[in-house]
Structures are given as structure tokens and as C-alpha cells.
Amino acid sequence: MNDTTLLASRRQLILGGAAVAAGASLAMPAFVRAQGSRRPLKVSVGRIPWAAGNSPMTQYMINNKLLEKRGAEQGYDITVDWREYPTALPMVEAMVGNNLDIGMWGNTPITRGLASGLPISLLVLGEGHLRFLITTRKGSPVRNLQDLKGKTVGVSLGGDPQSALFQMLRIELGAEDIKETGIRFVNMPTHAQAASVPTGVDATCTIYPAFLAAQAAGTVAIANSFGFTEDYYDGPAGKGAGLQLASVKKSPFFPDGYYLHRSFWIGRNGLIEQHPQAVVAFLLAQQDAVTALSAMDAGAVSQLVKEYWKLDATDGAKVVKDDVLFSRGWAWPTESDARAVLETSKFMADNKVIQKPLQWAQVKDSFARTAPLIKQAYDKLGARPGESEFTRTDAADLRGKPVWQINQWAERT
């Protein structure tokens, strides 16, 4: 993406004066006075346009210069350096090198970052409730999750696809230790590569947009992380798509599914501490985009990023409708959204990916710098969800108290 630049401008206060001379009221010429120049600031933002909800949302922000506009309201002339990444892992490296201000990461890299003491804070949701699928090639003998035992499976190691896959396998196969499955895991560097089910693997775990784009080349799916079968499934639950796998009800994340997927925008602490109002501008701009896109036709939303997803409006709408950003219509994080990070850390520790699980206090502390800014952005918007929206229990996604009520969150073990 090319850098976008908002030309510096000064607010002018037009003052009128009047003088009385010789008993008559005479209007004096108006004059202007500069109110003070805005602070120039370059902000680097990492996006994953091949993923899900963050893709059209950030594209809308770019097309309409929303961050620049909200920045001007907060006293900044912001130049945005939008950067595209295939996954979150290169973003982590950039932020470790102090070379990225804001990025969107899933539960897994967030957990690693917090566990290692990386100077980052959580902001708001970038996307969520992404559908991860177990895929294979047409004609494959792999028709259900039991068939994966002893096979070779490709997945993005260290990312959310791995965490989603491991949760599905542990719960559906009843494996306390993933080694019990006898599965050999092979790294897939990109979602598109995973969706192609390359030679050398029996199956893969990939994300919905990549799978839909790969169907024409012979990729088929057997099950998804929401706990339902896909078209190629044939097993204990029956045959075909749309059958609920009984084991999903054992998941601590039900009704979200086997895996509580939430990707957060992550901020570098240095930016948050030095330019808090620029962060508020980002929060406002993202919510502007979420509000606008939630009101649009889902197929039309998907076509904003057709060059990345390679999907027509019909298939693209499926991805948009899955995303929690657009089903909610808002991106403000809740207690259960934060819980996704905590729970991910538990099974990452069980599988020796990290040394020990995070404590609930660590997750809450990751919002310490940002919760007041998130509340400030929430308060600035006229159209915003009421308090009851956050704690609804009849929704298809897990919610809870908003982040600015963090001290009221129940302790989690």
C-alpha cells in the first residue's frame, strides 16, 4: 500500500469586531488567527488482508482516510504507513524490532507476546469467530477427524490455525496430549498454501477465505472449528455438511465452537504512552468502519477486498457474515474476548508451546494503558451499544463486561 498523507491545515478562528465612531456603529474587517498547528505523526499499521473481517474493515479505513480524519480531530496530522502481512508472525518480529506501531494478532501470538514480556497492550477486536476448516483433497480417504490419527497435517505453526486445530483434535479425539494422536504436523507459511493441501500432507487446517478460493482446484473440507461438519465429512455424525459434532458441547467455548477465536489490534506501548490521543483516533476510525460496513450488504463488503480473497460476492458474503465484528456491529472488547487469550495460554502450556499459562492478572494488565482510551473513544460516539449489549447471553458469541469495567471482571483460574 502507498502511504497516504493528510495535508497539514490550520484551524482558523474568525473574529469579528465592531467599533463605534461618531455615534455610528461601523463593522471592522474580520481577521483570522491560527489556533495552533496539529502535530505531525507517522503511524505504521500492520494488516492481514488475506484473513477475515480485518481485511474489508482496514480497506474501508484506507479508502476513506478515516484514521487521518479522526487524527485531525485529536490534534494530529497523521500519515499512515499501512503494511500488509501474510500472517501475524512477521508483525511480531517487526514490533519486537520497534518497527511497527499497531498490528492485528490472533490469540496465539498475543499469548506468546504477553508470556515473553513484550511491551505491548491490547486495543480492540480486529476480527473474530473466524471459521477454521480441516481440509483435504477430493478422493482422499480422510473423511473425519478420527481419520487424521497417524497422518501428516499441514498448519501454520505458532498461529491461530494451530491452536484451533489442536483444540478440535483434543476434544473430538479425547486426547489429553496431542502426541497421543500420532499426527505429524508440517508448517504452512501462508493460508493459501494450506488451502491448496500440497503434496506431502494428508490434510491441512486453513481459514475460510482461503478454503473458498481453493475449492475450484479440488480442495474439500470435512469439519470446522464451529463444531459442524463440512461437505466431505463421512463419519460418526453422519454424512455431509451442517451436522453438529457432539463433542463440541464439551468445549469451554461453546457456543462459539471448539475455539474462541479473537484477533486483537495490538499497540506498541511506546506509541500508547507518547501519543494516547492518536490511539483514540485509531479506535474511533476503526469503529467508524465497522459501523459503516455492518450496514452494508455482506457481498458488497467482501468485494472491497476481492483482490485478496479472490471470491465473488456470494462466497465473500459467507466470510463477512461469520465475523463477530459485523454480527455485533461494534469492536469494543469484552471479558470473554479477553478470556480467549487466557484459555489459549492454557492449552499452549499443555502442549509445551509456552512454559506456563498466563495468569488472569496478566491478561487484565494488558489493557491497563488502553482501557481508559477505549472508554474515551466509546463515549465520543453517539451511536454505540448500550451496556446490556455487552452482557447478552442469547447471542451466538460469548460476551461479557466491557474492558473499561476490567476491575469488575471475575477472577479466572
The tens digit of pLDDT for each residue in 172-214 reads: 999 888 889 999 999 998 999 999 999 999 999 999 999 999 9
Note the pLDDT tens digit of each residue in 14-37. Answer: 223 333 233 333 333 332 323 458
Does residue 7 carry a pLDDT above 70?
no
Mean pLDDT, rounded, for 355-368: 94
Average pLDDT over residues 101-112: 92
User: How large is the average pLDDT for residues 159-170?
Assistant: 90
- Residues with Cβ within 8 Å of 119's Cβ and at least 6 positions away in sequence, in order, are 268, 269, 270
pLDDT score at 234: 98
Across the chain, mean pLDDT equals 88
41-50, 241-250, 279-288, 345-354: segment of lowest average pLDDT: 345-354
pLDDT per position as a tens digit, 317-326: 999 999 999 9
Give yes or no for residue 116 having a pLDDT over 70. Answer: yes
pLDDT at 169: 95
Structure confidence at residue 252 (pLDDT)? 83
The cell numbers describing 42, all together, are 507517522
Domain positions in the chain are 7-34, 39-129+262-408, 132-250
Looking at residue 4, its pLDDT comes to 36
The CATH number of 39-129+262-408, from 3.90.1330.10, 3.30.9.10, 3.40.190.10, 3.40.50.170, is: 3.40.190.10
Q: Is the pLDDT of residue 94 over 70?
A: yes
pTM score of the predicted model: 0.81
Percent of the chain with pLDDT over 90: 72
Percent of the chain at pLDDT above 70?
91
The whole-number pLDDT of residue 36 equals: 54
Name the pLDDT band for 413 (thresholds 50, 70, 90): low
Overall average pLDDT of the 256-271 stretch: 93
Q: Tell me, what's the pLDDT at 373? A: 98
What's residue 387's pLDDT? Answer: 84
Q: Is 132-250 in the same CATH topology as 39-129+262-408?
A: yes
Weakest-pLDDT range from 117-121, 168-172, 201-205, 260-264: 260-264
Residue 85 has pLDDT above 50, yes or no: yes
Averaged pLDDT for residues 359-379: 96
Least confident of 155-169, 264-278, 285-299: 155-169
Q: Is it the case that residue 5 has pLDDT exceeding 50? A: no
**Topology of 132-250 in CATH?**
D-Maltodextrin-Binding Protein; domain 2 (3.40.190)
What residues contact 128, with CB distance under 8 A and at least 6 apart? 53, 261, 262, 263, 323, 324, 325, 337, 397
